[in-house]
Every structure is written in C-alpha cells, then in structure tokens.
Amino acid sequence: MIGNCLGASSGLEAIATVKAITTRWLHPSINQFNPEPLVEFDTVAKQKKQHEVNVDDEAKAQSGERSKHYAKIGWSKNQEIAKTNPKLAAMNKKFGMIHGLSSLARIFRLICLLLYIGLNVDCIHFD
C-alpha cells in the first residue's frame, strides 16, 4: 500500500504500523491477484482484517525470538512447510537475497546522502 515514496516510505510504514497496533486492523496487501499457491497462510489480501496485536510479542519478534504472534501471522507455518517443500525454500531464499540487496542499496543511498551533505556543508549559510 505504500508504493514507491522513495525516502518517505519508511515514515509511512511506521504510521501504518502504529495505526494497526492502536486500531487492531491489518491493512490489506493490494494488487495481490494471483498469490503463490505454495504460500499457505493468510496474507491479508484485498480487505483489511481485524487482528489481535500484542506489542510484547512484537518486541520479542524484533529481538529475534520467535513468538506466538508470528505463528498467528504465518511465519512459523511457512518455515515448517519450507522444510519439506524445496520449491518454497528456494522462493524464500530468493526473496531473502532480493531483500538483502534492497537493504544494501538503502545503506549505500544513506552513505551518499551523508557524503553529499558533508561535502556541501560549507555552502550552507544560516544568516
């Protein structure tokens, strides 16, 4: 739902996450017409969905600890199915690689921005 907002996307995602926690509604995944048949968990497609969100579980998940929250969403189920289904395991690996490259590109963009600001700081006048 965020689309390509360049640098603003993380801020919009943060707002959407806070709204999901406070209202207990998950926003839908739009433009999801033909989901991969290997994905056997709910991806919240097309319509928003009421969901119990436990902030404590979110904190555990962010620290790397697997929690019942992820089991509800489908992470654990995906991992269990991937153990027996090599096609899903390959899809997960490919997604992880693409996600890693995307994160690397974001870090590179941040470094370029900091260098640009650092090189042009003497051009900024606060008169």
Q: Contacts for 35-43 with beta carbons within 8 Å, 24 or more apart? A: 36/91, 38/81, 38/85, 38/87, 38/88, 38/91, 39/74, 39/78, 39/88, 40/74, 40/77, 40/78, 40/81, 41/73, 41/74, 41/77, 41/78, 42/73, 42/74, 43/74
At 70, is the pLDDT very low, low, confident or very high (cuts 50, 70, 90)? very low
Tokens of 17: 């996450």
Q: Are 27 and 48 in contact (CB under 8 A)?
A: yes
Q: How does the average pLDDT of the chain come out, rounded? A: 74
pLDDT tens-place string over residues 23-69: 887 777 777 777 777 766 667 777 777 777 666 655 565 555 554 44
Average pLDDT over residues 106-110: 91
